[in-house]
Amino acid sequence: MTLSRCMVAIEGFSKVGSALVTLLDEANAKVVAISTERGAITNPHGLNVRQLNQLAAQYGSHLMDFYTDAEGICCADLFESTVDLLCPCATHPSLHAHDASRVPARLICPGANEPVTAEAEKILFELGLMDLPGFVTNCGGMLGSTMALRR
């Protein structure tokens, strides 16, 4: 699996999620769904990342009300998006056992602190889905904060 061929859904479009969306777009991945605290949007043909970032800068999490080239979905439905890569970057825990069996993504790569419950991790493992540990995928923010405090 290469990023340039991946379809991606990102839960949370704040500091981590918006930065990740930009990096994925630069790697030619197709970001097809995002969410904020106001809801989620999806477009199987891909979202316009530049427009998302502009709307987020102007309207914050209300960008959902102004992005017109997507379908609005429930935040919980984001986990059911037909994608290769699911990135929970919102809060902890957001992916629970009752959601795990409905996740079609091949790879879950968290950007939030412990977004997947232990029960959900077990189900994902049993389904053969790769759920990368948050302490590995999300360590940059904590390391950066810790290093900044020591200066």
pTM of the predicted protein model: 0.83
Task: Read off the pLDDT of residues 36-88 as tens digits, 9 standing for 90 and up.
Answer: 888 899 999 999 999 999 999 999 888 889 999 999 998 888 888 899 988 88
Q: Is the pLDDT confidence value at 95 over 80? A: no
Q: What local confidence, expressed as pLDDT, does residue 128 receive?
A: 77
Q: Is the pLDDT confidence value at 94 over 90? A: no
The per-residue pLDDT of the chain, averaged, comes to 82
Q: How many CB atoms lie under 10 A from the CB of residue 4?
A: 10
pLDDT category at 4 given cuts 50, 70, 90 is: confident
Express as a percent the part of the chain with pLDDT over 90: 31
Residue with tokens 């990135």: 87
What number of helices (H) and strands (E) belong to the chain?
A: 6, 7
Q: What superfamily would CATH give domain 3-149?
A: NAD(P)-binding Rossmann-like Domain (3.40.50.720)
Q: What local confidence, expressed as pLDDT, does residue 134 receive?
A: 63
The two three-digit tokens of residue 142, written as one number = 């904590």
User: Strand 71-73 to strand 39-42: parallel, antiparallel, or no bridges (unpaired)?
Assistant: antiparallel
C-beta of residue 12 within 8 angstroms of C-beta of residue 35: yes
- The alpha carbon of 124 is separated from its chain's Cα centroid by a whole number of angstroms, namely 17
Express as a percent the part of the chain with pLDDT over 70: 81
- 3-state class of 33 per DSSP? strand
Domain spans of the chain, in order of start: 3-149
Residue with tokens 């540990």: 133
Task: Read off the pLDDT of residues 97-143 as tens digits, 9 standing for 90 and up.
Answer: 778 778 888 878 777 666 777 787 887 788 877 665 565 566 655 55
